[in-house]
Amino acid sequence: MPDRPPLGKLKIYLGYAAGVGKTYQMLEEAQELKRQGHDVVIGYFEPHGRKDTIARTEGLEIIPRRKIDYRGALFEEMDPDAILRRHPEICVVDEFPHTNVPGSDRLKRWQDVQFLLEAGINVFTTMNIQHLESLNDQIWQITGIRVRETIPDWVMQQADQVVMVDLTPRALLNRLTRGVIYSQEKAQKALENFFQESTLVVLREMALRQTAHEVEIRQVDYDTPGFEQELGLSDEAGQPPANTDRILILVTPDPAAAMLLRRGKRVADYLHADCFAVAVSRESDLHDMPARDREMVEHHLNFARNLHIETRILQGQDVAKTLVEFAHLNGVTHLFLARPQPSQWPALSGRSLVQQVVHLARDMQVTIAADRAARQQPHPV
């Protein structure tokens, strides 16, 4: 059986809005690598009518797109199989968070990219900060827009390099009004909605912070001989010390559980902590719950698994006691609970569920998160 090829390397060009120059910068580097003799192709490019960016594709081989018939209309998607047959050294793929049309082999373009990486092909790609899953609720609060196309944080964390392509909000707005990013009609609508300077300033700051975080987590290379000893990071056996932080998230039928999972996972990533998500039920298969509640809990647990959070269903009559006992047995240091709706958890012995958990978990940090976004009406994108 032949050995599998080494994984390809992933480089993400990160921005905070359309028009900052992510694709242009990616193509600039692709052109430079081609001049140096590297085998570079374009797997997918979205021109958006931007002449300067289109000009940067000149001389680069473009892999033909796959045509898919869906409900009587013809759509074009990236063709990963054709790229694999061509097997270039480097493949340029625009719009990383894109959702493929039904009939494609994979649901998301980032999954297509993983298919290429597993085949040993290096990939350059682009995305904006608002498509990062853990920031979904914050983006909603800031913009009033619920971003539907998201990328799990673990996908970005597995990238070998994340490069922010920066442009000041004032300069970006200038490009927008000059018609560089969109047509005049579309630009005017953008100015009235997403492209407000105050919004762009906040998004840019989020992108800068995320990029700094991505750089920080890549600075520690435990595979470098002697590196741990030099920094005093290894134990007596010469291994990096285990992280002492562990985060536990309570999953309930409440829609706010999705927000809680994003928030808890983001904190876990910053702390480099283990993360669990648990539901508590009188029966191990959740069948004591009403059908709608069971469906919601199962949906949230699946969402947690997609975020690479370990999930469990705990069996117990007392939610607070069962939760805290599990936390103690597993060395949990941080508990995350959503602030419940008034009718969600009946008070026992005069105490709400949150009060019971706080009383029992005095040796842990308990975070009670309110879903501020629930008071807003989202506009999906």
Quick: pLDDT tens for 49-97.
888 899 999 999 999 999 999 999 999 999 999 999 999 999 999 999 9
**Residues 130, 30 share a domain:** yes
Question: Do 194 and 327 belong together in one domain?
Answer: no
Q: Which residue has the higher pLDDT, 269 or 119?
A: 119
* Element holding 67 (H helix, E strand): strand 66-70
257 in the same domain as 111: no
pLDDT for the residue numbered 263: 87
Phi, psi of 37 (to 5 degrees): 100, 5
Q: What range does the domain containing 100 cover?
A: 10-217
Show which of 217, 234, 268 is a domain's final residue. Answer: 217
Q: State whether 53 and 182 are in the same domain.
A: yes
Per DSSP, 99 falls in state B
Please tell me the predicted confidence (pLDDT) of residue 321: 93
Cα–Cα distance for residue pair 271/239, rounded to 1 Å: 19
Banded pLDDT at 128 (limits 50, 70, 90): very high
pLDDT band per the 50, 70, 90 thresholds, residue 212: confident
**Which of 6-20, 81-95, 165-179, 234-248 is modeled with the greatest confidence?**
81-95
Specify if 4 maps to a domain: no
Domain end, chosen from 217, 232, 253, is at: 217
Shared domain for 253 and 189, answered yes or no, is no
Number of domains in the chain: 2
| CA diameter of the chain | 74
Across 81-95, b (16+ Cβ under 10 Å) vs e yields eebbeeebebbbbbb
Question: What is the structure's pLDDT at 221?
Answer: 44
Residue 68 within any structural domain of the chain? yes
Do 111 and 184 belong to one domain? yes
CA dist list (Å): 330 to 208, 279, 284, 297 = 35, 15, 19, 22
Q: How many CB atoms lie within 10 A of CB 61?
A: 12
Decide if 45 is inside a domain: yes
Does residue 174 lie in a domain region? Answer: yes
pLDDT, residue 351, reads 62
Matching residue, tokens 């931007």: 50
Q: What is the mean pLDDT of residues 295-304?
A: 94
Instruction: Say whether both 288 and 180 belong to one domain.
Output: no
Domain annotation covers residue 238: no
CATH number assigned to the domain comprising residue 248: 3.40.50.620
Task: Dump pLDDT digits (tens) for 149-162.
Answer: 999 999 999 998 89
Q: What is the mean pLDDT of the chain?
A: 84
SS3 category, 278: strand
Q: Which residue has the higher pLDDT, 227 or 107?
A: 107
What pLDDT is stored for residue 144 in this prediction?
86
Q: What is the pLDDT of residue 324?
A: 93
In a domain, 184, yes or no: yes
Mark whether 315 and 174 lie in a shared domain. Answer: no
Does 5 reside within a domain? no
Q: Which is it for strands 90-93 and 40-44: parallel, antiparallel or unpaired?
A: parallel
Confidence of residue 234 (pLDDT cuts 50, 70, 90): very low
Q: Are residues 199 and 297 in the same domain?
A: no
Does residue 191 belong to any structural domain of this protein?
Answer: yes
Q: Are residues 175 and 279 in the same domain?
A: no
Domain stop point among 217, 252, 281 = 217
pTM of full prediction above 0.75: no
Rounded Cα gap, residues 154 and 126, in angstroms = 16
Check whether residue 206 and residue 328 sit in a common domain.
Answer: no
